[in-house]
């Protein structure tokens, strides 16, 4: 097989009587859903040559995901589209657990601002969202999106992975040769299945009916919050979606006749307590089996998994797509650094090491919520409802976004995301100042000699908190609460390490993270001596 360096960006090769179009790229992404498009955009912003292939001719015309949180909005900030997308979304004000008569059992506030400086919980309409992401990615000069191309198979050499595609319009062959391939092709990923590994089950498999309703304009106002109905006959969930839409998901019983449950007559009668006299049309109805699954391996040679190809979870926390975007954010800066020669390929092993335990924790939390709201035993249901009405929330499953576990890129004081302080009513701006690389933020000035140990070809910016105005004051207060003076921040805004000095951070990561960046690092002492001389 030819190496990537021998492949032109568009090269047509004659193979017998057939013609195979050959496309070269640094990174090939299979799947132009939100995860693949976010990854393409993040890589493209760093100048990586990316080709995205997808069999569909356009974005999927109906919503699948409907919820995102402040961490995704922070990624959209990095992509440069958060200001245009935020007005198209609907804030989620609360999560209300209710009994079968829709009488509230407990209300959990979901509004406010998250650690990223953006609204904590929002609903969106996915076709518009995906189209905006595709516009951002396609607008970058190093990103090519090939729609109408079905990925059939792949092969790998030591230096190249090739995706063999079929262009649907004319049934012609197209080979995409890349240094790295990322499978973002969904829960039934053909690329992942070709590995021959069974997904690891977290013991949750339930059938649910998913309904997307379009509410007529003159209908009564519906709740503006997420509603989880703890009905022992049939648990169900609803939430608002922008554009006069409503998402409803209801659990199916073993004895259900799907045709009856999906009928307009049953849907109208069952949802009458919620919809009342509202007039609606069903834009989509589908039966899904919600799983708790995680791929055992997220990397095979030059191919990696992301999004639903790597993990699947029930929707009770609205973290499915969100987790996929976190995959893309974690992977993009590492992959770009490898392609551009800044990092050793071994840094890609940290992707699975960090993301897999994180996702497993989120999936288990979602399963816990699902089992809590879906109880069917009358005695247990009555005990639960009575406790909640009395204000006893001891058994209510809680969720917070987990930190990353300690590892080669998570040192002392690391693993959480850097707070992005809010500045009045405006959008947060800290991330824009930090840029796309690493950042060192310090309460005290850092002598220039102390900075020389950092690898010269790995982008890093140094900031004193006093240079950041009100934002810096808040960061200084946060650092003092952590009993630290300096923080080293990764490009994905996760904290690598904190310490009382830059020297303490260097000592913390010298034999872990820095070993992945370069093999020839000067010591702090040698760097200082060179500066003096």
pLDDT given for residue 520 in this prediction: 46
In a domain, 306, yes or no: yes
* Same-domain status, 345 and 445: no
- Rounded to the nearest integer, the mean pLDDT of the chain is 90
Q: pTM for the full model?
A: 0.92
Structure tokens at 491: 């490009």
Residue 27's nearest CA partner among 134, 139, 174, 184 is 184
In a domain, 367, yes or no: no
Residues 299-329 as b/e (b if ≥16 CB within 10 A, e otherwise) read bbebbbbbbbbbbbbbbbbbbbbbbbbbbbb
* Same-domain status, 482 and 346: no
Residue 449: give its domain's CATH number: 3.40.30
* Same-domain status, 79 and 163: yes
Residue 181: give its domain's CATH number: 3.50.50.60
Mean per-residue pLDDT, 369-388: 93
- Length of the chain, in residues: 533
Mean per-residue pLDDT, 109-130: 95
In a domain, 50, yes or no: yes
Among left, alpha and beta (phi > 0; psi -120 to 50; other), residue 113 is beta
In a domain, 486, yes or no: yes
Range of the domain at 74: 4-85+124-198+296-355
The DSSP secondary structure of 124-178, one letter per residue, reads --HHHHHHHHHHHHHTSTTEEEEETEEEEEEEE-SS-EEEEEEETTTTEEEEEEE
Q: How many domains does the chain have?
A: 2
Residue 340 has pLDDT above 60, yes or no: yes
In a domain, 99, yes or no: no
In a domain, 361, yes or no: no
pLDDT given for residue 6 in this prediction: 30
Residue 151's nearest CA partner among 55, 278, 228 is 55
In a domain, 368, yes or no: no
* Same-domain status, 349 and 435: no
pLDDT given for residue 18 in this prediction: 59
* Same-domain status, 186 and 74: yes
Residue 525 has pLDDT above 50, yes or no: no
Q: Which residues pair with 198 in a beta bridge?
A: none
pLDDT-derived band at 452, boundaries 50, 70, 90? confident
DSSP three-state, residue 363: helix
Chain centroid offset of residue 292 CA: 17
Compute the distance between CA of residue 268 and CA of residue 275 in angstroms, rounded to an integer: 8
* Same-domain status, 23 and 161: yes
pLDDT given for residue 8 in this prediction: 38
pLDDT tens-digit map of 489-521: 999 999 999 999 999 999 999 888 887 875 444
In a domain, 163, yes or no: yes
pLDDT-derived band at 16, boundaries 50, 70, 90? very low
């Amino acid at each position: 097989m030819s190496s990537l360096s021998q492949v032109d960006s568009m090269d047509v090769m004659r193979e017998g009587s057939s013609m195979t179009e050959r496309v070269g790229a640094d990174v090939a992404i299979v799947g132009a859903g939100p995860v693949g498009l976010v990854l393409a955009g993040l890589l493209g912003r760093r100048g990586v040559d990316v080709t995205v292939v997808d069999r569909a001719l356009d974005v999927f015309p109906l919503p699948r995901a409907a919820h995102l949180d402040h961490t995704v909005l922070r990624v959209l900030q990095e992509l440069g589209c958060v200001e245009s997308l935020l007005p198209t979304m609907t804030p989620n004000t609360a999560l209300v657990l209710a009994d079968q008569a829709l009488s509230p059992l407990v209300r959990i506030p979901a509004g406010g601002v998250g650690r990223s400086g953006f609204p904590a919980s929002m609903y969106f309409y996915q076709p518009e969202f995906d189209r905006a992401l595709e516009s951002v990615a396609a607008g970058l000069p190093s990103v090519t999106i090939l729609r109408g191309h079905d990925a059939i198979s792949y092969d790998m050499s030591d230096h190249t992975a090739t995706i063999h595609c079929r262009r649907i319009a004319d049934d012609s062959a197209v080979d995409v040769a890349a240094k790295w391939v990322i499978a973002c092709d969904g829960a039934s990923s053909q690329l992942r299945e070709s590995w021959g590994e069974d997904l690891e089950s977290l013991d949750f498999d339930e059938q649910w009916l998913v309904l997307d309703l379009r509410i007529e304009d003159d209908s009564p106002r519906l709740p503006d919050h997420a509603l989880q109905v703890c009905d022992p006959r049939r648990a169900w969930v609803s939430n608002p979606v922008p554009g006069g839409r409503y998402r409803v998901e209801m659990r199916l019983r073993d004895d259900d006749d799907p045709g009856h449950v999906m009928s307009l007559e049953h849907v109208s009668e069952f949802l009458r307590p919620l919809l009342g006299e509202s007039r609606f049309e069903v834009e989509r109805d589908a039966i899904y089996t919600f799983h708790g699954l995680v791929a055992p391996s997220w990397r095979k040679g030059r191919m990696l998994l992301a999004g639903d190809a790597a993990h699947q979870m029930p929707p009770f926390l609205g973290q499915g797509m969100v987790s996929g975007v976190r995959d893309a954010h974690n992977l993009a800066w590492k992959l770009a650094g490898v392609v551009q020669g800044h990092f050793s390929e071994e840094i890609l092993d940290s992707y699975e090491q960090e993301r897999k335990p994180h996702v497993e924790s989120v999936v288990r939390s979602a399963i816990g919520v699902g089992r809590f709201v879906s109880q069917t035993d009358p005695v247990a249901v009555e005990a639960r409802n009575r406790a909640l009405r009395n204000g006893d929330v001891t058994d209510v499953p809680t969720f917070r976004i987990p930190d990353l576990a300690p590892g080669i890129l998570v040192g002392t004081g690391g693993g959480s995301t850097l707070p992005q302080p809010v500045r009045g009513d405006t959008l947060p701006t800290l991330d824009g100042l930090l840029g796309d690389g690493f950042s060192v933020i310090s309460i005290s000035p850092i002598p220039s000699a102390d900075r020389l140990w950092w690898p010269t070809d790995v982008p890093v910016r140094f900031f004193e908190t006093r240079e950041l105005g009100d934002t810096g004051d808040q960061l200084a207060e946060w650092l003092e609460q952590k009993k630290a003076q300096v923080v080293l921040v990764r490009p994905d805004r996760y904290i690598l390490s904190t310490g009382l000095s830059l020297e303490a951070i260097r000592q913390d990561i010298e034999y872990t993270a820095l070993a992945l960046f370069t093999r020839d690092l000067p010591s702090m002492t040698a760097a200082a001596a060179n500066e003096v001389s």
